[in-house]
Amino acid sequence: MRVTVIGLGLIGGSIAIDLRKSGVATRLTGVDQNDDHASEALRLGIVDEIKCLDEAIINTDLIILAIPVSAMVGAIGDLLSRVTPEVTLIDMGSTKAAICKSIRLQRNRGQFVAAHPIAGTENSGPGAAFSGLFNKKTLIVCEKELSSYSALRVADKVFAAMGVKTIFMEPVAHDRHVAYVSHLSHVSSFLLGQTVMDIEKDEKNIFDLAGSGFASTVRLAKSSPDMWAPIFEQNVEYLSQALLEYIMHLQRFHYHLMKGDSKEIHRIMTEANEIRRVLAGIELKDEKTNNVESLIEE
């Protein structure tokens, strides 16, 4: 299969590596507005060639779109209006409502599969890409019923190569849930990093005193602002709600701390410990999952 990957960062690059490794891709063409990223992806062998967008979408079977979500809305509609009916387009955006709404009436909507792999690291660029990033991770597909049988067959092969577990959600429900379990954690990490940097003017103190707990909590603050700022903007309604509730919990904790109410503080932390049970259930489910769920019914 001839594959074009638009956006050669961590996500796009890692998908390209998996598609080559699995044999799904026979030819990989890369497109990236960042010339340095394009050159690096070519040098690392992530793609076979670099082309401009107009050339890359000719004579291709599949287009993987892994660009900032702020550019997704216009790009998907434009691509669907230009490619031949045999081409499948799959996006990997972290928000879905605005994207799906923008192309719902598009004549070639059936050629598009709306996807979001719940995977990533704090690193970015082609050099951060690696095989196995998505292995046993969850990938969400939205509006499956609006994608054609042929597009879903292609997506099935791609997702199998990535090694993901596929689940289905409506776009609005997707955006609401990821605001809490993904986007909020990134905001928290960014602002924790900023708080520490503001207070600890002596960087040596941060380096010497910060333990593994701090490092793991603030790890996401190393994520690319170029990628995450558009995500926050696209999901402002649900992220704002999540932030208000998070701030409420912080204020409540601060109130009991200032009152010296250690019993209530202990209760709050004990209640929060329940997340351990939830995460253990997710891990157990992962271990028992051996097959990738098919998008199509044979």
CATH code where residue 60 lies = 3.40.50.720
The verdict on 20 and 163 lying in the same domain is: yes
The verdict on 260 and 137 lying in the same domain is: no
CA 174/CA 176 separation, integer angstroms: 6
Tally of structural domains, the chain? 2
Final residue before a domain boundary, out of 143, 170, 197:
170
Give the pLDDT score at 206. Answer: 67
The verdict on 122 and 220 lying in the same domain is: no
- Does residue 32 fall inside a structural domain? yes
The verdict on 221 and 99 lying in the same domain is: no
The verdict on 69 and 136 lying in the same domain is: yes
- Does residue 156 fall inside a structural domain? yes
Domain hosting 131: range is: 2-170
The verdict on 42 and 116 lying in the same domain is: yes
CA 285/CA 287 separation, integer angstroms: 5
- Does residue 294 fall inside a structural domain? no
Give the pLDDT score at 77. Answer: 93
- Does residue 69 fall inside a structural domain? yes
- Does residue 291 fall inside a structural domain? no
Final residue before a domain boundary, out of 154, 170, 186:
170
Select from 121, 168, 113 the least CA-distant residue to 140: 168
Give the pLDDT score at 290. Answer: 41
> Among positive and negative, which fits the CA dihedral 100, 105, 108, 110?
positive
The verdict on 120 and 221 lying in the same domain is: no
The verdict on 117 and 261 lying in the same domain is: no
Give the pLDDT score at 36. Answer: 95
pLDDT tens, N- to C-terminus, the chain (298 residues): 999 999 999 999 999 999 999 999 999 999 999 999 999 999 999 999 999 999 999 999 999 999 988 899 889 999 999 999 999 999 999 999 999 999 988 889 999 999 999 988 878 899 999 999 999 999 999 999 999 999 999 999 999 999 999 999 999 999 999 999 889 999 999 998 888 887 777 666 666 666 667 777 788 888 888 888 989 998 999 999 999 999 999 999 999 999 999 999 999 999 988 888 777 766 555 544 444 456 766 4
The verdict on 88 and 226 lying in the same domain is: no
The verdict on 212 and 151 lying in the same domain is: no
Final residue before a domain boundary, out of 145, 170, 195:
170
- For residue 243, the domain's CATH number is 1.10.3660.10
Provide the token pair at 19: 């598609």
- Does residue 270 fall inside a structural domain? yes
The verdict on 165 and 185 lying in the same domain is: no
- Does residue 296 fall inside a structural domain? no
CA 195/CA 97 separation, integer angstroms: 32
- Report yes or no: 17 and 33 within 8 Å, Cβ to Cβ: no
The verdict on 122 and 191 lying in the same domain is: no
SS (H, E, C) the chain: CEEEEECCCHHHHHHHHHHHHHCCCCEEEEECCCHHHHHHHHHCCCCCEECCHHHHCCCCCEEEECCCHHHHHHHHHHHHHHCCCCCEEEECCCCCHHHHHHCCCCCCHHHEEEEEECCCCCCCCHHHCCCCCCCCCEEEEECHHHCCHHHHHHHHHHHHHHCCEEEEECHHHHHHHHHHHHHHHHHHHHHHHHHHHHHCCCHHHHHHHCCHHHHHHHHHHHCCHHHHHHHHHHCHHHHHHHHHHHHHHHHHHHHHHHHCCHHHHHHHHHHHCHHHHHHHHHHHHHHHCCCCCCCCCC
* Contact residues for 149 (Cβ-Cβ < 8 A; gap 6+): 296
Give the pLDDT score at 292. Answer: 47
